[in-house]
Amino acid sequence: MISAPSNIWSIPAGAPFLKTLARAVLGGGFPAPDLPAPGPAELSAYTILVPTRRAARELAAAFLNVSDGAALLLPRIQPLGDVDEEELSLSSAGFEGAAALEFPAAISHLRRQLILARLLLDWAQANREVEFSAALLAHPSQAVEVAADLGRLVDQLETEEIDLDQLAHLVSENFAAYWLDVLKVLDVVRRQLPAELAKRGMIGPAQRRNHLLNAEAARLSALRPETPYIAAGSTGSIPATANLLKAISRLPKGAVVLPGLDMALDEESWQELDPQHPQYGLHELLEGLGVDRQHVQVLGECSSASQARGHLLSETMRPSETTNLWPTTLPKLQPELSMALEGLTVVRAPGRREEALCIALKMREAAETPERTAALVTPDRNLGRRVSAHLKRWNLNVDDSAGIPLSRTVPGTFLDLIMSAVESGFSAPSLVALCAHRLARFGLARGAAARAARKLELAVLRGVAPGSLSALPGALERRRKEVGKKPHWFPHLARWDDGDWAAAGMAARMVPPPFEHLINITAAGQPMRLQVAAETIVQTAEAIAADESGDCSALWTGEAGEQLSQFFSSLLEAGEDSPLLAPADLRRVIMGLMAQPVVRPRYGTHPRLQILGLLEARMTDHDVVILGGLNEKTWPAQTQSDAWLNRPMRADLGLASPERRMGLSAHDFVQAACAAGPVYLTFSDKHEGAPAVPSRWLLRLAAILEALNGPDSEEAGRGVLASALGLDQVEHTAPAERPAPAPALELRPKRLSITEIETWLRDPYAIYARHILKLEPLEDLGLAPGPRERGMLFHEIFEQFSTKWAGALPDDIAGELERIGRDCFVQWENYPDVAAFWWPRFLRVAEAAVNYERRLCQDVRAVHVETSGKLTIPLSGAGEFTLTGRADRIDILDDGTARLIDYKTGAPPGITEALTGKSPQLLLEAVMLAEGAFEGVPAAQASALLYLQLSGGEPAIEPRLLDPARAKPKIDASVLQVCNTVYTRLQRHITRYSADAGYPYLPRVLPKYEARDMAYDHLSRYREWSSYTGEGEDSL
């Protein structure tokens, strides 16, 4: 051990690390006592190594800040790449000299992952008896995911300079069967991965980084340069880094600057440190350097408050083996306790949402203070995203160091939607989502593409969508014919002009072509390499993103576009090494790979607010520091056994225990918590709906404060929580009242169909929304053919039959119906359920129709089918009201009267319901017929009103004659009288709405099914007011 002052320095926790380092360099006497203060040009002779690229940028800014902006040549600042295994930053910048030329190139993580996936599948194919093999072969895409885990294990081994051949020594009969299978997989990695890399003349990225660091250490040891050489902020957690630090510490003008070495911890505790302790990593580094802690020199100083807080946290983190000293050590904290707690606030929130809101509020407060900086430090990236979202409510766009996974960026989601559309067989939801994406142009200008996509969605993708992509043009043409024939079925489409239909047609024609090649290679179902798939996907994406001039550059521009371009370049290069993957696995694999790169904005973020992970926060300095997510399993993270190596295996190999990571995160916690400015420690009682436990460090701190009779650590935080919750708090909420819109008389509809009359009676608000507000309820996307479509289909068949055989019935009624039915069912050939369920039911209806048709036609003089009519009703004042309708079938009988028939595939209205005017369709058709309102049909009195239910069940056809004598209670009147009574009530109803400007359109006056949702319930806020008001009003 070195027993004299060494070249090892430490900057105390709480001191601004980089500014302190910059001041020391510019002030002279560092790293060697005889060094004068460097001049503006002499500073460039210094070399300073820092752990990360972010630290390198921050140090350059610190030099400019400390020098007050004076002109100077900055020192040579290089990122060391010293980070933990999970966040490997394999920076070899600055070490690419002659030594770099001696080492093979590093293989990319992506290429190595694909090679490992292929090796795994080859091994599984040859070892089918192993249970793990069956899982891989059943889902080959999992091999790519498993390969990523294996790659991280290889990085750990290479980082610790452990040869892969040592895996062969782990074989032991003492392991469970699972671990024996794992060892078989690891043996594949041991034997075949080095050969694969050697064949390509490459080595692992961690291995190459180690070679470069060791080569630099050897160079420094051999040359012993006289220029200043400083390594700052590293804890030497990587052996190659520790080796380099040792070489630097031996230089005549070398210095190693440690972050936050605890000089106050007693020697007994220093010797008892375990891997979970924040000082464990520095203890191991000093042991490796051969330096006693008392010989480490202190560089700079921190405030008295930070020093006092450091003492408090040092006792909080005391090793459990020496907590017996607390009765002696804790009383020493009493004089400086108030100083230690000054500016320290613990915030306890009910859940992550409230915690994020508290954090966002304090960051907003910092942003409103001139020149004040603030940072959230948290390992919980979801919490960081929540905070970022809350800050956007105040137009604060914050730099989140975690960035955004490429798969979640605009071009990333675009690629995902393309693959999702193909994977789902071009389902309506996937097509709508793709066409609505901002990059989807399909050869049109953005505005024109958006309009065309919206029209296509409304025309054919809402409701029952086409069964395939190629069916879009035909489906659109059929829908236009249906709208012309039955406008009341599609009221929103009935208002379209030629331009609207042309826009929908353009989309129907332009959407399918870009997918042709991708469909061809996936439809065959043959496995393919990622290289082939990537080429085709890129071609498809560029074709869809191309505008009217064929320019698809929008896909590749911006930070995300450039990252996507780099990703696919790497994938095209490495894809030849991938395993063969089935088309069904492509999306999962590619999107999984795309989730690994992250995109960070270069500009546009707030200059004084940041959200940092633990790695990025090291060595940074802010006026306000917020440590978020201080819950067990988050900070510190839960220690978990490796999927590939259990604890005995890791120990045999010489790998660090999982608790080592906990020690690193504890060191990050102490460093950040000792900041000179306000510090907020936040945690939540619940996480993802489950109870959460505060971090063990907070529990220890609270226990120590209680033992010292200190203040409640959470008292100040309650005020922060109250302020945050008050942002969205409403003092009084009045329940919504039942809407009663009463529009001006000139706005009220003067024309309604017979079917809308029933809606008017039951839910007047629906008429107001549809005809006055012009709001049409949208059907869901991509519905399966349902009752409406079945009704339209059966109506069409019987309409064609009745029209063709109006004069005399054919001999083979069932055969003729079946022939017409086959022709009509062709349009549903892409829907197997229609043929499987509807066709058998129709055949039963056709068989049953033989007897019914013969009986119905016995006394019939003429038959009129699908006949439109219009009845003008004069109003008591000026003006008139028009009633329209379309009768399914009108039979003119030999006695001059008529029989009205309405076909129903669903349940028809009850007899009483219809005759009392609640479902007045047939009754009003009878009135229109009596007035001669149907085209081509002479006026006639209705003698029979009949519903025919064509269910195809048992019985296949069920008639329901509207006989007043069968109503409950019995109606003592003829059909004609009942019709006239209902018509009279309708006239009064029309008059009320047409003459009284104050008469409102109330919602849910007479709902047919109380518990069933109605079309405009959401608009009328029915769920809010229905509990406070009564409902109900008489029908006609």
pLDDT at 239 over 80: yes
Of the listed ranges 169-178, 371-380, 965-974, the one predicted with least confidence: 169-178
pLDDT of residue 1023: 87
pLDDT digits 0-9 by tens, 56-72: 999 999 999 999 878 88
Tens-digit pLDDT profile for residues 250-283: 999 999 999 999 999 999 999 999 999 999 999 9
CA atoms within a 13 Å half-sphere pointing along the CA-CB vector of 681: 26
**Which residues lie across from 957 on neighbouring strands?**
950
DSSP letter for 279, please: T
Query: By percentage, how much of the chain surpasses pLDDT 70?
Result: 95
Contact between 678 and 625 under an 8 Å Cβ cutoff? The reply is: yes
- The answer, yes or no, to whether residue 467 has pLDDT greater than 80, is no
Q: How far apart are CA 67 and CA 40, in angstroms?
A: 10
Position 879 scores a pLDDT of 83
> Residue written as tokens 């109503």?
967
Per residue in 446-478, is it b (16+ CB within 10 Å) or e — as a string? eebbbbbbbbbbbbbbbbbbbbebebbbebbee
Q: How far apart are CA 683 and CA 348, in angstroms?
A: 5
Backbone angles phi, psi at 731, to 5 degrees: -65, -45
Instruction: Return the pLDDT at 172.
Output: 66
Tens of pLDDT along 921-966?
Answer: 999 999 999 999 999 999 999 999 999 999 888 898 999 999 999 9
**Structure-token match 């399914």, residue found:** 888
Number of Cβ atoms within 10 Å of the Cβ of 1024: 12
Token code pair at residue 26: 């510019």
- Cα 480 to chain center, whole Å? 36
Give which of 948, 951, 980 is closest to 964, Cα–Cα: 980
Q: To 5 degrees, how large is the angle CA 352–CA 357–CA 360?
A: 125
Domain boundaries, the chain: 8-102+215-302, 108-177+185-199, 336-403+602-726, 406-599, 745-1023
pLDDT class for 93, splitting at 50, 70, 90?
very low
Residue 168 has pLDDT above 80, yes or no: yes
Q: Is the pLDDT of residue 800 over 60?
A: yes
The Cα angle at residue 591 between residues 588 and 593, in degrees rounded to 5: 105
- Alpha carbon distance 178, 849 (integer Å): 67
Residue 274: the pLDDT is 93
| pLDDT value at 3 more than 70 | no
Structure tokens at 313: 């946290």
Would you state the structure tokens that stand for residue 594, as one six-digit string? 């795309």
User: Helix (H, G, I), strand (E, B), or coil: what is residue 330?
Assistant: helix
pLDDT at position 173 over 60 = yes
For the domain made up of 8-102+215-302, give the CATH fold: Rossmann fold (3.40.50)
pLDDT in tens, 634-668: 999 988 777 888 888 888 888 888 889 999 999 99
| 322-331 average pLDDT score | 93
Per the CATH hierarchy, to which homologous superfamily does domain 336-403+602-726 belong? P-loop containing nucleotide triphosphate hydrolases (3.40.50.300)
pLDDT for the residue numbered 96: 44
**3-state DSSP assignment of residue 3:** coil
The secondary element (H helix, E strand) that includes residue 867 is strand 860-874
3-state secondary structure of 270: helix
Give dist(CA 216, CA 208) in Å, integer: 12
22 in Cβ contact with 59 (< 8 Å): yes
CB 569 within 8 A of CB 127: no
Do 8-102+215-302 and 745-1023 show the same overall fold?
Answer: no
- Does a cis peptide bond (omega within 30 degrees of 0) precede residue 969? yes
User: Is pLDDT of 38 > 50?
Assistant: yes
The helix/strand/coil state of 320 is helix
Q: What is the pLDDT of residue 5?
A: 58
Backbone angles phi, psi at 982, to 5 degrees: -65, -40
pLDDT tier at 1036 (50, 70, 90 boundaries)? very low
pLDDT at 82: 40
Reported confidence tier of residue 1010, pLDDT bands at 50, 70, 90: low
pLDDT band at residue 138 using 50, 70 and 90 as cut-offs: confident
Average pLDDT over residues 395-413: 92
- Cα-atom radius of gyration of the chain, to the nearest Å? 39
% of the chain at pLDDT higher than 90: 68
d(CA 338, CA 104): 58
Q: Is the pTM of this model over 0.75?
A: yes
Q: pLDDT tens digits for 553-607?
A: 999 999 999 999 999 999 999 988 999 999 999 999 999 999 999 998 888 889 9
Q: Return the pLDDT at 1030.
A: 47
Distance of CA 771 to the CA centre of its chain: 38
Mean pLDDT over residues 359-373, rounded?
A: 96
Q: Which residue matches tokens 């060391």? A: 80
Judge whether 247 and 213 are in contact, CB under 8 Å.
no
Give, rounded to a whole angstrom, the gap between the first and last alpha carbons of the chain.
103
240, two tokens: 């190659």
Its CATH class, for the domain covering 745-1023, is: alpha beta
